[in-house]
Chain A
Amino acid sequence: MKYFVKIGERELELELVREGQSLFAVLGDRRFEVEHADVDRLGQSMLRVGPDAYAVSMEEEGERYRVSIAGEGFTVECDDERERAARALSGEKSTGGGLVESIMPGIVRALLVAEGDVVAPDTTLLILEAMKMQNEIKAGASGVVSKIHVAVGAAIGAGAKLVEIKPPEA
């Protein structure tokens, strides 16, 4: 099975091949025997790639994976060839930059824009309080505020829709 992996800016393609009891990973013209053993059923495992041993920790985060190796952390997106084909068929597109979502849970302390306002990327849209810190949430793009999804005082979760911004007319 082929896997298409994206880690930050890096895109890697690799293939896993089972031969008898052994599993091999093929990256380009390199081929490694791979051994994997679950440690505690909580996400830790031993991974051997050729002669090199790694203590790997893995957690699923929605469709992505958080992988930790020797103290470094990676957010990994991984499609196998079937998933990639399915995505290509459905013509899935990345979400546009028009929706500002909250990356943290918190309480909306102030709204600094109204629907119809023209904003620049560094315009502060609202102030979100989390862990007693007040955070300025910026527009991140130019445009016109088309919809505000939250009210002052609202407690919101991570990923909540905050403000929609319509791109400026060309």
Chain B
Amino acid sequence: MFQKILIANRGEIALRVLRTCREMGIKTVAVYSEPDRTALHVRLADQAVCIGPAAPRESYLNIQKVIDAARSTGAQAIHPGYGFLSEREAFSAACEEAGIVFIGPPPSAIRAMGDKISARQKMIAAGVPVVPGIAEPLADVAVAEREAARIGYPVMLKATAGGGGKGIRIVERKEDLLGAFTTASGEALSSFGDGRLYLEKYLVAPRHIEVQVLADAHGNCVHFGERECSIQRRHQKLVEETPSVVVDAEMRRKMGAVAVQAAQSIGYRNAGTIEMLWSQGEFYFLEMNTRLQVEHPITEMVCGVDLVREQLRVAFGEPLGYGQEAIQRHGHAIEVRINAEDPEHGFVPSTGTIQNLRLPGGPWVRVDSAVYRGMKVGLDYDSMLAKVIVWGHDRPQAIARMERALMELHIGGVRTGAPLALRVLRSKEFQRGETDTRFLERVALPPASDRFVEVAAIATAVHKHLSGQRRSLGAQGEQSGGDAMPAWLLMGRRDGMRRWS
């Protein structure tokens, strides 16, 4: 096995990879940008290399700096995590050239799936069902209008180089096409350096269902079943679960076989995910993510597998050592992503410093997070702060457990989507499994409970009441240091006095 690997990422995923490495006795090298020097992935790694300023282009996305860091520390392999360099063909190739193992697929497989249009064409050729649409880049709005009219509204505009929900627009009417085309193309250009768009049919009540695959270098490929990720905001996943309520053993076998076929048709190696849309009993290939995914832990929970360990093993050249029949699923797992964003204002990113932090625990609750007190949340990086993952014997138990975990969670200093996720879990529609990718636009979520509204009112009044007393204490200069004493310290003392009196 590798003795030392470099993790070319940050945040929770860097920590996730690091943890498995430590369990396997593999030394880790972290890379970090200047503002990340206090980050947990840096502090917990065996070695760390600063690779530049905050801007991703000058640090985490800089192939040469990452390769140099691996060379100077003697790392034998690089794990790219997700995002950043994970799906860059050039990076996989640069590793190969430098004699460093890329823990992921070969450059050719990234290329085959990286361009959404060529991926679609390859899948059609391999006999994999795809969503009706045009498999070529749209030359201009006029072509988009013609094609949209041909396959019928609503249609979806998507960036050919897309990912992470960027450069995607749903267009309901012809009148909206121009605006959507312009913004999606601009977004794609600034995110991916490629403004080309393609167009496909927007399906009725589609569920986002994806299949985890794993392939070794010896021609073996298995799948670990599906994950349903239909609860999305701005085309980014918010709640994920496995199994999906619409996938039974037979459907799982069919989807799994298609996923394995898709992966093998492009010579895939390592862990990957075939994303599909499920609509009215049919499923269609959407795209392949040629990397480990954010929501991989739910698969780990029901299959009892450490996917990062498997990635390391197959990257080292070990054969899988087991077949499809060895993969048994047990129970139900749910993940909620905790993003720094404000669901009350269209999910705009929220920034600040994390001061107030309480993470959940207890049986079958897993928190993958790199959040710590004092951490600054800015706009340089992705807004995801943490993932809460639970396992339950069945779906109702998993839902109840996640509800309980989210009731324990508190991240202060920034707004997060956690309160919204809680309302999703409590909705009748989610509990009945009536999920589709338009869930958040479609479903009226249950309001906050009246009792908590009153408690919040009392809490605020009491807070104000005590701050008023605190201010009058400060004004009297009663404590030595008077005004110089921080308000919270005075408040703490005042509370202390009250309790002991």
Contact = CB atoms under 8 A, between A and B. Distances in A.
Interface in A98-149: 103-106, 109-110, 124, 127, 129-136
A102 B184 CA distance: 21
A71 B492 CA distance: 24
B501 A16 contact: no
A74 B448 contact: yes
A69 B456 contact: yes
A54 B455 contact: yes
Contacts of B190: 109, 129, 132, 134
Given A34-B462, A56-B456, A73-B419, 5 more contacts: A36-B459, A36-B462, A41-B492, A71-B403, A105-B379
Contacts of A54: 455, 459
B143 interface: no
A38 B495 contact: yes
Interface in B150-184: 165-166, 179, 183-184
Interface of B: 165-166, 179, 183-184, 186-187, 190-191, 234, 342, 344-346, 348-349, 351, 355-356, 358, 373, 379, 382-383, 403, 406-410, 412-413, 415, 418-419, 422, 448-449, 452-466, 468, 488-489, 491-492, 495, 498-499, 501
Contacts of B491: 38, 41
A3 B356 contact: no
B412 A110 contact: no
Q: What's the interface size class on A, roughly?
A: 35 or more
B99 to A, nearest CB: 33
A25 interface: yes
Contact of A71 (B191, B383, B408, B454): B408
Contacts of B462: 16, 23, 25, 34, 36, 47
A27 interface: yes
A72 to B, nearest CB: 5
B454 A12 contact: yes
A131 B379 contact: yes
Contact of A47 (B186, B187, B415, B455): B455
Interface string A62-84: 00011111111111101010000
- Central interface residue in A66, A71, A135, by most chain B CB within 10 Å: A71
Given A5-B460, A16-B462, A44 B356 contact: yes
A49 B195 CA distance: 57
Contact of A16 (B165, B349, B413, B461): B461
Contacts of B179: 124, 136
A70 B407 contact: yes
Given A7-B453, A71-B419, A49 B458 contact: yes
- Central interface residue in B358, B454, B459, B499, by most chain A CB within 10 Å: B459
B349 A130 contact: yes
Contact of B463 (A58, A69, A132): A58
- Central interface residue in A73, A80, A103, by most chain B CB within 10 Å: A73
A10 B453 contact: yes
Q: Which 10 A-B pairs have the closest CB atoms?
A: A104-B348, A43-B356, A3-B461, A134-B187, A5-B457, A74-B456, A71-B407, A73-B419, A67-B456, A70-B407
Contacts of A104: 345, 348-349
A18 B495 CA distance: 15
Contact of A43 (B191, B351, B355, B498): B355
Contact of A56 (B408, B459, B465): B459
Contacts of B495: 36-38
Contacts of B488: 38, 41-42
Contacts of B349: 104-105, 130-131
Contacts of B344: 75
Nearest to A38: B495
B317 to A, nearest CB: 37
Nearest to B165: A133
Contact of B191 (A3, A34, A132): A132
Contacts of A49: 455, 458
A129 B183 CA distance: 10
A14 B461 contact: yes
Nearest to A10: B453
Nearest to B348: A104
16 contacts: A27-B458, A37-B499, A41-B489, A41-B491, A54-B455, A54-B459, A57-B358, A71-B407, A71-B422, A76-B460, A78-B464, A131-B379, A132-B166, A132-B187, A133-B165, A136-B179
